[in-house]
Structure 1
């Protein structure tokens, strides 16, 4: 009979594409992955891995068995969800990820609620960008991820995942207090065509969104500074280093010397939670969604209008 843990190792190899990636995803050593695969090869009587340069690749038999392993593990997860749902207890462990402003603006309140209402549930969190969070849920490294997209640039959610809307976030334009538009009630993005911009790092979803949005307004933005942390972005604005888009969720105190002005044509970030559909009935997932929803309602009520 095939060993479930060895099938899990094969599935991780297929999903991550390397022994080191599988080891990281399974939270074991690379040696443990190699040992499990050697045992699985002896069980099936065929080579499942072949050398590929410095790495390895799945053989035809390996890919065939990996496809079966993915379906078996999905069915096991579904069975676990049904058993937990029948028992109805919120226990065990759940792994959550959230992008930075949600990690700051939603997770503390949600975790406080979960600890108070479900003391036997262990929650572990990671701060991950939206794309990494979705990949983590697909791979099984995360149970639930808080992600975002924009009203004019959606983040694809692959099949097999479920999604729940948490809140809409309306960002502002941050500029130095001495900027010619600092006292305006509203601004248009086109009015900043000659300004330098502070942006999220290249390759991140929000950087791609910013470039797409500003170019759609008819100008090529001059990106002077690439910074991932919003408080650092605002510190650069306070120093007169340009302008930036700054979300309201998780914003916290704004430095002296910075003015925030809404955009006339409102930009919106849509914040969602995503999880594997085959885990939909797990009480821990339901409890986490409820806690995140309550935290989102509170955060929405505390945002400046």
Structure 2
């Protein structure tokens, strides 16, 4: 009989990439995590780790075992849902994570609406960027996450997570009210090529999207100012210090006098919902997914 705790250590090594990272996530020492995998290897009679330079990697046998392990995990989650079910009425604790814009524009209003509609449903929200959200899902600390897909983000394990498109969020050019482009209904980004831009210097999804959109329009933006969050970005724009690309879901503070202008080519970011495989059949999670699907499109009007 396989010890499922040891199997979980192997799954963690696959998810986090190294024995050390997996051990840290599981609150083990690296030697204890390695011992668990060695014991599992002895129980099964196959090698699960093999040297790769100064590190180790999973063997082909380990990869085949993981496919079964993920099936077991998904079936166990379905069993838990079945035992806790009280009809099809959404009830109980549902834990959600999302990046700051998703938390404020999507998850918070969805949680409020669902609490009013289903008194026995208890939402719990936390802020987390995409990479952390996947870790929280894997560790069982959240049930659903809203993440932003980026061109340079490697694809996640599709066998382990259900990733579903929620909405394509367009970026608008944001300018001060007195700017020469402020009266336009739509703007070609190339018309802003010579403007000073507010662009974060820190690697982040926003920077990736801004550089990609400007590159597609044929120029590299002159980053006159560096701001990471949308409040700071729109404050700089409101004071006439530059222009910026801001996703439509990002809320602009009422005291920031700026004008949003849709772009001709409509650069967009993809927003996804993510659950553990099979999680979407849980009535509570399904209720959240339905609420988000109805809420998101209405937020995209300029």
TM-score range, shorter chain: 0.7 to 0.9
Pair 116,7 (structure 1): closer, same or farther in 2 beyond 3 Å? farther
Query: What residue in structure 2 maps to residue 216 of structure 1?
Result: 216
> SS of the counterpart of 1:146?
strand
Cα deviations across residues 185-244 of structure 1 (Å, max 9, x unaligned)? 432211111112223455433322221221121222222334331111111222333110
Match of 1:261 in 2: 261
What secondary structure, in the 3-state scheme, does the structure 2 residue paired with 1:115 have? helix
Under a length normalisation based on structure 2, what TM-score does the superposition of the two structures give? Answer: 0.76
Question: Shift in Å at residue 286 of structure 1?
Answer: 0.6
Q: How does 1:67-146 map to 2 (within 5 A)?
A: 68-81=68-81, 88=88, 90-130=90-130, 133=133, 137=137, 142-146=142-146
Q: CA separation of 1:70/1:272 partners in 2, compared to 1, >3 Å: closer, same or farther?
A: closer
* Mapped contact 1:176–1:238 kept (Cα < 8 A): yes
Matched, 1:29 2:27: yes
Give the conservation status (yes or no) of the 8 Å contact 2:9–2:37: no
In the superposition, relative to structure 1, how do residues 190 and 254 fare at CA in structure 2: closer, same or farther (>3 Å)?
farther
RMSD, matched Cα: 4.0
* Cα distance, 1:40–1:55 mapped onto 2, change above 3 Å: closer
Q: Quote the offset at 1:22 in angstroms.
A: 2.6
Deviates more, 1:190-199 or 1:239-248: 239-248
- Counterpart position of 1:292: 292
User: How big is the shift at 1:108?
Assistant: 1.2
Per the alignment, residue 42 of structure 2 pairs with: 45
The alignment covers a number of residue pairs equal to 298
* Unmatched runs of 5 consecutive residues or more in structure 2: none
Partner residue, 1:279: 279
Q: How far apart are the structure 2 equivalents of 1:29 and 1:43?
A: 19
Residue 97 of structure 2 contacts residue 146 of structure 2 at CA under 8 Å; is this kept in 1?
yes
Q: Report the counterpart of residue 234 of structure 1 in structure 2.
A: 234
Q: Secondary structure at the match of 2:278?
A: helix
Aligned equivalent of 2:195: 195
The residue that corresponds to 2:158 in the other structure is 159
SS at match of 1:106: helix
Give unmatched runs, 5+ long, in structure 1: none
Pair 1:207 & 2:204 matched:
no
Q: Deviations over 1:15-73 (max 9, x none)?
A: 11235533554xx5234x75466456446537866899997765787666555433432
Distance, in Å, in 1 between the alignment partners of 2:155 and 2:39 is 40
